[in-house]
Structure formats: C-alpha cells, structure tokens
C-alpha cells in the first residue's frame, strides 16, 4: 500500500509539473524544456521499487564519496533494462533527453526525482572558465563572500557582460552561479526556497538543510547546490557541505 501511495505521489508531481502549474509566469509550451511526463516518472519509480524488492538494494550508478547529495544516487538504467523497463524514458539523458534520473531518501524509501542536465552542464562550463582564469592569473576572480564558503565572482574579468545564471527548474526566474571554497560552481536556489517559504507552509524536516522542501514540492532535485538554513525568516547558505 505504501509503495502504491509513493508511486501515485510521483505520478501526481509529474502531472502538475508538465501542466505548467509550477511555472505561473511561463507563457510558453507546457512541455517546458522537455520536462518528463508523469507516466515517465511513474514508470521509473515502479521499476526501481521492483528492482529493490528483488535485489535488496536500489539500482544506482557508482559515485565518488564527495558527490553532491542530489547527484549521488543516479538511476542505473542498465540494471533495469530489459527486466524492469524496455528502455529509458524519452526525457532521460541516456535516451537523448535533458534529465538525469536520480533517487532521494535512498536509505529510507527511495523516491525518483530528476536532475536538470542542462543546468548541470552550464554550471560545469562556467567552472571551466573560472579554472582557465585561475591557471592564467594564479587565483580565481572572487568578489565577495555571500555565505559560509560561498563567493560571488567578478564576472567581467571572466569575459561575461552580466552575472552568469541558469534557468530555474521550479519557477520562471533565473538563478545566479557562485563559487564554493573547493572551486566548484554552485547554483543559488535561495529565491526558489524563499518563494515556497513565503507562499506555502512547507514541512521542514531538517532546519540545517531545507532543500527537501524543493523535492517535496517538485520532481526536480536541486543540482549543484549547497545546504540552506533559515535566518530571519529567509533562506541562507548553511555552514556545511553535502
């Protein structure tokens, strides 16, 4: 019964996602940037549940120990095909789409979410530009500290005309890119988090990392992100990594 409920929740998220309910200001196509359909999300969830029931572990790719939390447990479609699925969903990166399928709550009750591969690629491209600058100048073009271990950059010194951003996978807005203390580019989801905090009454499971309110509301995981806490009623970078 719990498994069926979980599959229904994933399906319902997908319906809202592709219907445009999560893009109130977006006047474009409902299939915004090739978002996964509800049936695709549900089919992967069913396959993951059946695989775990048979093998005792979820079907995930290998990962490095320092991999970002929301990029860590990516679905291994090779383990699911052909026994549990015929092929990866059309929206999946493996099948030419823009999304990597991943799992959250792996140790408790794995649930399928997706990663925006376009945003991930754009963050990595910006990171390469920073590294090229650092090789040429001996240091990155840091401007200010915007949070513990998080820095804004002098984008003009990198050859950019404006602050580099990526398109939010949640709302019709753009999200700035910053650099962390390990030289990795991160996406700042604070505006998305703040909107959920202000417009809803989200259940906050961990006050030291409120990113779960995004995956509670949406089928998209916050790729290239850092933990957030709440300060003075607003989201702020937490003093920790994961």
Q: Are residues 228 and 122 in the same domain?
A: yes
Predicted pLDDT at 66 = 86
Q: Are residues 108 and 35 in the same domain?
A: yes
Point out the domain boundary residue: 116, 149, 174.
Answer: 116
Q: Are residues 57 and 153 in the same domain?
A: no
Instruction: Give 10-residue mean pLDDT values along the chain (242 residues).
Output: 52 51 40 75 98 97 91 97 97 96 95 98 98 98 97 97 97 98 97 95 89 96 97 93 76
Q: Are residues 34 and 111 in the same domain?
A: yes
Question: Tokens for 214?
Answer: 């995004």
Predicted TM-score (pTM) of the model is: 0.86
Torsion angle in degrees (nearest 10) through CA of 217, 221, 222, 223: -170
Q: Are residues 46 and 110 in the same domain?
A: yes
Q: Are residues 110 and 6 in the same domain?
A: yes
Q: Are residues 110 and 32 in the same domain?
A: yes
Q: Are residues 34 and 112 in the same domain?
A: yes
Report the distance separating Cα 144 and Cα 126, nearest Å.
18
Point out the domain boundary residue: 93, 116, 139.
Answer: 116
Report the distance separating Cα 150 and Cα 19, nearest Å.
35
Point out the domain boundary residue: 53, 83, 116.
Answer: 116
Residue 242 lies in a domain: no
Q: How many domains does the chain have?
A: 2
Q: Are residues 110 and 122 in the same domain?
A: no
Predicted pLDDT at 4 = 53
Q: Are residues 108 and 186 in the same domain?
A: no
State the residue for tokens 């109130």: 24
Q: Are residues 200 and 91 in the same domain?
A: no
Residue 201 lies in a domain: yes
Predicted pLDDT at 23 = 43
Among 18, 121, 40, 30, CA closest to 85: 40
β-bridge partners, 186: 178
With beta carbons less than 8 A apart as the criterion, state whether 205 and 27 touch.
no
Residue 204 lies in a domain: yes
Residue 92 lies in a domain: yes
Q: Are residues 192 and 108 in the same domain?
A: no
Q: How far is CA 39 from CA 15, 75, 120, 140, 236, in A?
A: 8, 17, 24, 44, 35
State the residue range of the domain holding 144. 118-237
């Amino acid at each position: 019964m719990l498994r069926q409920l979980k599959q229904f929740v994933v399906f319902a998220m997908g319906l809202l996602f592709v219907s445009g309910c999560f893009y109130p200001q977006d006047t474009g196509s409902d299939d915004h940037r090739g978002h996964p359909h509800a049936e695709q999300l549900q089919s992967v969830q069913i396959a993951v549940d059946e695989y775990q029931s048979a093998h005792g572990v979820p079907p995930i790719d290998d990962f490095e120990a320092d991999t970002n939390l929301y990029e860590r447990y990516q679905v291994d479609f090779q383990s699911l095909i052909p026994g549990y699925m015929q092929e990866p969903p059309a929206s999946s990166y493996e099948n030419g789409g823009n999304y990597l399928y991943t799992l959250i709550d792996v140790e408790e009750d794995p649930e399928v979410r997706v990663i925006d591969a376009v945003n991930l690629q754009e963050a990595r491209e910006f990171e390469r530009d920073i590294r090229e600058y650092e090789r040429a100048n001996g240091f990155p073009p840091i401007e200010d500290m915007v949070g513990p271990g998080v820095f804004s950059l002098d984008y003009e010194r990198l050859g950019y005309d404006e602050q580099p951003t990526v398109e939010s996978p949640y709302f019709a807005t753009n999200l700035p890119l910053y650099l962390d203390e390990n030289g990795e580019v991160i996406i700042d989801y604070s505006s998305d988090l703040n909107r959920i905090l202000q417009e809803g009454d989200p259940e906050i499971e961990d006050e030291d990392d409120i990113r779960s309110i995004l995956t509670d509301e949406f089928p998209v995981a916050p790729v290239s992100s850092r933990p957030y806490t709440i300060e003075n009623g607003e989201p702020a970078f937490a003093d920790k990594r994961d």
